[in-house]
A and B are shown apart, each in its own frame.
Chain A
Amino acid sequence: MAASKPILYSAWISSCSFRVRIALNLKGVDYGYRAVTRTDLDYEKINPIKYVPALVDGDFVVSDSLAIILYLEDKYPQHPLLPQDLKKKAINLQIANIVCSSIQPLQCYAVIGLVDGKLGSDESLQIVRNYTDKGFKAIEKLLEGCDSKYATGDEVQLADVFLAPQIHAGVTRFQIDMSNYPLLERFYKAYMEIPAFQVAAPEKQPDAPASPY
């Protein structure tokens, strides 16, 4: 069977999708983009879990951004996102998990709560800021004294792939004051100069509205 390019089911604003878009771009993997909305009933046939992103590679479907990215890491070894050194690898995974387990799910809960009318707008914003602040402060502590270009070295790695979308969401949607997190602020400026990150940004996606924020 002729190799076909992988398909990414994604939503423009989803920071989890943004992570995978960055990883695909860094590895130079050409992919098809399929936009998914929250009310998309057809998507359930692709991914019964209903979350974005999902990657369809031939007849294989994988969902969850960390699982997808680790799959890409194995399948496309170019531009490795995880260092060989076990200590550095662990810090990359720890930072990725702070983002994907301790910040983003709570942000998601706050946003959906607001959309569904269960939370007021002040409350929703407070939740986002509370968990963002806790996570960002912890990461600043973990990386204290860091003088490399990116989080764990002078090459973009897994931690950066997870940090960029989280910071981007914080800055564009939740008025997070990044001057409180000088290392992350510095990294973010560096990320947004990289084409792989720029092209992956929410506002550049095919399903982004004309006035995104």
Chain B
Amino acid sequence: MAEAEATAGRLSLYSYWRSSCSHRARIALNLKGVDYEYKVVNLLKGEQSDPEFVKLNPMKFVPALVDGDSVIGDSYAIALYLEDKYPEPPLLPHDLQNKALNHQIASIVASGIQPLHNLTVLRFIDQKVGAGEGVLWTQQQIERGFTAIENLIQLKGCAGKYATGDEVQLADVFLAPQIYAAIERTKIDMSNYPTLARLHSEYMAHPAFVAALPGRQPDAPSPS
């Protein structure tokens, strides 16, 4: 599955079309205007357990970014790596408080919502509680997290065109895939989260975000 060394100087991203963590990395790469090679890891076929991939990321998660001899197997670490290596346009503001707010929103998604409904956890819930229970579980996790983020954004009064102002920032990179998946896959009722619903419309109109959508990826199934 893993091919020979990437073309010199070109980054590779190991990704699955539907993985919201991979989706984050794709957005970040697009925002920074970084060309990359897309390497498919089919999670449903278990390709994350292929020995070559496990060598790259022992957690067996996508995404993984390969840049020369650097391998980074975590979307948060990837985003901050890209932020350092390709400073324009910046994803983090200089203002320490706004910067912290971006990290807080990103962390609610990355630690508080997504890990509680990823594939491995859903399989556990389906096994333990009952087949199909994973859907209800996912809804609950998302609703809890979205309530927290909606409240936080409203409390801070920070939203502009995007989550923390009029420029796309780190919070948006993490929010967009989570909101997209919530709407498309979990059919969350977004009327309880008016800011998040509005942000979704903004993301769906931004070229860097659109190009990163699951359905646009090389491994997305052809529309039926």
CB distance A48 to B96 under 8 Å? Answer: no
Does B111 touch A at the CB level, under 8 Å?
yes
Does B158 touch A at the CB level, under 8 Å?
no
Shortest distance in angstroms between A80's beta carbon and chain B's nearest beta carbon?
Answer: 14
Shortest distance in angstroms between B189's beta carbon and chain A's nearest beta carbon?
Answer: 21
- Nearest residue in B to A118 (C-beta to C-beta)? B129
CB distance B151 to A49 under 8 Å? Answer: yes
Count of chain B residues with a beta carbon within 8 Å of a chain A beta carbon = 39
Does B139 touch A at the CB level, under 8 Å?
no
Give every chain B residue within 8 A of A98 (Cβ-Cβ): 59, 74
Binds B, one of A100-108, A171-179, A191-199: A100-108
Give A109 to B121 CA distance when docked, in angstroms: 11
Give every chain B residue within 8 A of A64 (Cβ-Cβ): 103-104, 107-108, 111
Give A182 to B97 CA distance when docked, in angstroms: 39
Size bracket, chain A contacts:
35 or more
Contact residues of A: prevailing secondary structure: helix
Give A93 to B70 CA distance when docked, in angstroms: 13
Give every chain B residue within 8 A of A142 (Cβ-Cβ): 58
Shortest distance in angstroms between B52's beta carbon and chain A's nearest beta carbon?
Answer: 14
Does A87 touch B at the CB level, under 8 Å?
yes
CB distance B84 to A86 under 8 Å? Answer: yes
Q: Would you mind naming 19 contact pairs between A and B with Cβ atoms under 8 Å apart?
A: A48-B151, A48-B152, A49-B108, A62-B100, A64-B108, A71-B96, A86-B84, A87-B69, A89-B84, A90-B70, A90-B78, A91-B72, A91-B77, A93-B76, A93-B80, A101-B114, A102-B61, A134-B59, A142-B58
Question: Hey, which bits of chain A sit against chain B, CB under 8 A?
Answer: 48-49, 51, 60, 62-64, 66-68, 70-71, 74-75, 86-87, 89-91, 93-94, 97-98, 100-102, 104-106, 109, 123, 127, 134-135, 137-139, 141-142
Question: Hey, which bits of chain B sit against chain A, CB under 8 A?
Answer: 57-59, 61, 69-70, 72-74, 76-78, 80-81, 84-85, 96-97, 99-101, 103-104, 106-108, 110-112, 114-116, 121, 124, 128, 148, 151-152, 155
